[in-house]
Amino acid sequence: MVTTTHYARSGDLNIAYQVFGEGPDLVYVPGWISNIEIMWEDPILASFLRRLATFSRVILFDKRGTGMSDPVDERSLPDLEERIDDVRAVMEAAGSERATLLGHSEGGSMSTLFAATFPEKTTGLILVSTYAKRIRSDDYPWAPTREAREAEIRRTEETWGDPDAVPEYTLGARSNDPVFRNWVARYFRLGASPKAAATLLRMNTEMDTRPVLPLIQAPTLCIYRIDDADVKIEEGRWIASQIPNATLVELPGDSHFFWIDDPTPMLDEIEEFVTGHRETARPERALATVVFTDIVGSTERAAELGDREWRALLERHNSTIRRQIERYRGRERGTAGDGFLATFDGPARGVRAARAITEAVRPLGIEVRAGVHTGEVELVEDDIAGMGVHIGARIAALAGPDQVFVSRTVRDLVVGSELEFEERGAHPLKGVPGTWEIYEAVG
């Protein structure tokens, strides 16, 4: 999906936004940090946004001080009232008179206040993993203590953008996927500076939207992950109980990034809430060979080169990999930072492409690792999903510099070819049942 970033004027600031899809207006208010252009680089998040666009006209924006929008004066923190002015400005610029608001995490607090303040502009309210208060008290026991919150703010500013310091509660089932971890770190870096990120956390710390909840008139859908480590399910139950006629949906999963755990049930609920019915896309199931690659030591290399040289190196890296994917008749399925996901119509071709990629990027002074797996995947338009994709990502995470690791399935399917493999032991793969025998493609 091709999207264009526009700008709306909110007071003295420019607020970046995008509009895509057809149907009733749906304003997506992101959480703490966002970058509406980098969002499209993660294939699963991009798939989520594309699915929203099949039943709604999506209005997506970066809040003031984040992403593509203007920065804010760190000496004068924006309050919720100023931030909901940004929602109103973006709606006006996009020609939207009334909309359903989809707010995630902190974005849910903004959406709550907007819905209560502007009922005439609010068709519905969807809260995903949203909190009402960010400091624990006797009557709100699910939030962190002030001491824990202050420690988090200090840690955030000191380690901002480091893949190893990305909060585990954001990663969930993809915590062992280095491509995704690196993408999240880059998403954060391009979403805000270290000081801005800490400043926004301090602002969020003082939020308390509890008095507003009973005043919401719009139909409300509350969606929470049962094992979310950041916003507790008990918190979600209490919030839903305070909103007149709210519907609570509890879904499995532990990631605070709502699209990481299987997003299909959540999308079904959102579609039915927005349109009154659900027409889920039926994925085509097919056997495919998935190949994951990512740069080893990318954080250190980026720091060594500086932003400009690192971007230039990434462009050469991307061009090199795309040539190899095309050479072996593969199809690029997504990129995330310095990682690639591609599919091939045969395991031998996928292994050869992975080996060719590791060799082709070596003259650039970088090393990549790769994981290859053949299994059933789900194909919906240009998107790819399913257990086969997760297995390929987990296998890639086990590999080291210049290594191509494959599943036993791949090795067994290429028997009789000239490809050679060496055993690398049996490993558990997070989120995948059993242990898996892993092999390295050598020679």
**Residue closest to 35 by CA, chosen among 18, 58, 52:** 18
Separation of alpha carbons 264 and 51, rounded Å? 9
Instruction: Using alpha carbons, list the distances in angstroms from residue 331 to 53, 217, 352, 358, 384.
Output: 24, 48, 14, 17, 11
Separation of alpha carbons 323 and 317, rounded Å? 10
Q: Which CATH number belongs to the domain containing residue 53 in this structure?
A: 3.40.50.1820
Asked whether the predicted pLDDT for residue 169 surpasses 90, the reply is no
Task: Please tell me the predicted confidence (pLDDT) of residue 192.
Answer: 93
81-126 pLDDT, tens per residue? 788 899 999 999 999 999 999 999 999 999 999 999 999 999 999 9
Helix (H, G, I), strand (E, B) or coil at 64: coil
Asked whether the predicted pLDDT for residue 282 surpasses 60, the reply is no
425 — pLDDT class (breaks 50, 70, 90): very high
Instruction: Convert 110-135 to b/e letters by CB count within 10 Å (16 or more is b).
Output: bbbbbbbbbeebbbbbbbbbbbbbbb
Q: Higher-confidence residue: 56 or 443?
A: 56
Q: How many domains does the chain have?
A: 2
Same domain, residue pair 107 and 214:
yes
Separation of alpha carbons 360 and 350, rounded Å? 15
Residue 116 lies in a domain: yes
Same domain, residue pair 80 and 211:
yes
Same domain, residue pair 315 and 365:
yes
Last residue of a domain, one of 250, 275, 300: 275
User: Going by DSSP bridges, is the β-strand pair 368-380/383-385 parallel, antiparallel, or unpaired?
Assistant: antiparallel
Cβ atoms of 327 and 320 closer than 8 Å: no
Same domain, residue pair 170 and 306:
no
Q: Which CATH number belongs to the domain containing residue 378 in this structure?
A: 3.30.70.1230
180-231 pLDDT, tens per residue? 888 899 999 999 999 889 988 888 888 899 999 999 999 999 999 999 989 9
* DSSP E strands, 62-181: 99-104, 122-128
Same domain, residue pair 80 and 32:
yes
Asked whether the predicted pLDDT for residue 45 surpasses 60, the reply is yes
Q: What is the mean pLDDT of residues 47-64?
A: 93
Cβ atoms of 248 and 226 closer than 8 Å: no
**Residue closest to 58 by CA, chosen among 12, 126, 105:** 126
Same domain, residue pair 296 and 267:
no
Whole-prediction pTM value?
Answer: 0.72
232-260 pLDDT, tens per residue? 999 999 999 999 989 999 999 888 998 88
Same domain, residue pair 215 and 360:
no
Residue 1 lies in a domain: no
Instruction: Using alpha carbons, list the distances in angstroms from residue 3 to 21, 37, 241, 278.
Output: 10, 9, 38, 25
Domain carrying residue 305:
284-442
Last residue of a domain, one of 241, 256, 275: 275
Residue 269 lies in a domain: yes
Asked whether the predicted pLDDT for residue 78 surpasses 80, the reply is no
Task: Please tell me the predicted confidence (pLDDT) of residue 171.
Answer: 86
Last residue of a domain, one of 234, 249, 275: 275
Same domain, residue pair 75 and 224:
yes
Same domain, residue pair 306 and 249:
no
77 — pLDDT class (breaks 50, 70, 90): low
Same domain, residue pair 46 and 130:
yes
Task: Please tell me the predicted confidence (pLDDT) of residue 217.
Answer: 93
Same domain, residue pair 146 and 270:
yes
Task: Please tell me the predicted confidence (pLDDT) of residue 308.
Answer: 85
Residue 150 lies in a domain: yes
Same domain, residue pair 116 and 226:
yes
Instruction: Using alpha carbons, list the distances in angstroms from residue 149 to 33, 136, 203, 205.
Output: 17, 10, 12, 8
